[in-house]
Chains A and B, each alone.
Chain A
Amino acid sequence: NAGVTQTPKFQVLKTGQSMTLQCAQDMNHEYMSWYRQDPGMGLRLIHYSVGAGITDQGEVPNGYNVSRSTTEDFPLRLLSAAPSQTSVYFCASSYSVSGQVPYEQYFGPGTRLTVT
């Protein structure tokens, strides 16, 4: 199993550009999520999904879109990049029971995004 994979590892964008961060998992997990990690702030949840076709907003959803057409993939779209979106982005997955986050999330290696 590859686990959770993310591409790209690094990305530099100019303000106003759009892009998609890719996330895929091969563990047949129902639950997937996107976090951003900023120094001194821990992880903040952007969006999450409890299954294909179902997504919901986390703490900091503004400026980001997601969709979940398959169990395996959960891409994160930046609509119009801003310097405030400079961060490290992590995708995570886990199995779920009745939509509840279970007890272990598996994280990808992260994407380091810089917006100039």
Chain B
Amino acid sequence: AQSVTQLDSQVPVFEEAPVELRCNYSSSVSVYLFWYVQYPNQGLQLLLKYLSGSTLVESINGFEAEFNKSQTSFHLRKPSVHISDTAEYFCAVRRDSNYQLIWGAGTKLIIKP
């Protein structure tokens, strides 16, 4: 069965430091990958997505993720985090059988001042 694994439940990092949030997925026929962000007490919002083409995708607020087919990974990175990035981040992959999304357990990004 397809699955998504987010390797860290929490990632603490100092403000202005770089961060990487890890996501691995089980292999599938087609690969559509997503990162969503959930700010405290809010619903989820799409951060970025990989559908096809360039393996490096970027968001408008400085995050980027790289699709690595050989390692079945889609890690999220930011070179310099801000307090406003405090949130929970979810990785998701589209299921082949019924096109629904399979979600990782989430990673809480904790920014230390």
Q: Which of A12-20, A75-83, A95-103 interfaces with chain B?
A: A95-103
Given A42-B103, A103-B32: A108 touches B94 (CB 8 Å cut-off): no
Residues of the A chain whose Cβ atoms lie less than 8 Å from the Cβ of B90: 42-43
Residue pair A45, B44 in contact (C-beta under 8 Å): no
- Tell me the complex Cα distance, A90–B49, Å: 20
- Interface-centre pick from A4, A104, A105, A109 (highest chain B CB count, 10 A): A105
Residue pair B44, A107 in contact (C-beta under 8 Å): yes
Residues of the A chain whose Cβ atoms lie less than 8 Å from the Cβ of B9: 40
Contact flags B43-57 to A (C-beta < 8 A → 1, else 0): 111100101000000
Residue pair A42, B43 in contact (C-beta under 8 Å): no
Which residues of B approach A to under 8 Å, CB–CB?
4, 6, 9, 32, 34, 41-46, 49, 51, 90, 94, 98-101, 103-106
- Tell me the complex Cα distance, A17–B97, Å: 35
A-B contact pairs, 14 of them (CB 8 A): A33-B100, A42-B6, A43-B103, A45-B100, A48-B100, A90-B44, A92-B44, A100-B99, A101-B94, A103-B46, A105-B46, A107-B45, A108-B43, A109-B41
Q: Which residues of A, 66-116, contact B by the 8 Å Cβ criterion?
A: 90, 92, 99-101, 103-105, 107-110
Q: Which 8 A-B pairs have the closest CB atoms?
A: A107-B43, A42-B103, A43-B103, A100-B99, A42-B105, A107-B44, A104-B46, A101-B99
Residue pair A99, B99 in contact (C-beta under 8 Å): yes
CB distance from B101 to the nearest CB of A (A): 6
Residues of the A chain whose Cβ atoms lie less than 8 Å from the Cβ of B6: 42
Name the residue of chain A whose CB is nearest to the CB of B94: A101
Q: Which residues of A, 27-85, contact B by the 8 Å Cβ criterion?
A: 33, 40-45, 48, 56, 58
B100's partner among A4, A101, A107, A109 (CB-CB below 8 A) is A101
Residues of the B chain whose Cβ atoms lie less than 8 Å from the Cβ of A41: 105
Residues of the B chain whose Cβ atoms lie less than 8 Å from the Cβ of A92: 43-44
A109's partner among B42, B46, B106 (CB-CB below 8 A) is B42
Residues of the B chain whose Cβ atoms lie less than 8 Å from the Cβ of A4: 43
Residues of the B chain whose Cβ atoms lie less than 8 Å from the Cβ of A109: 41-43
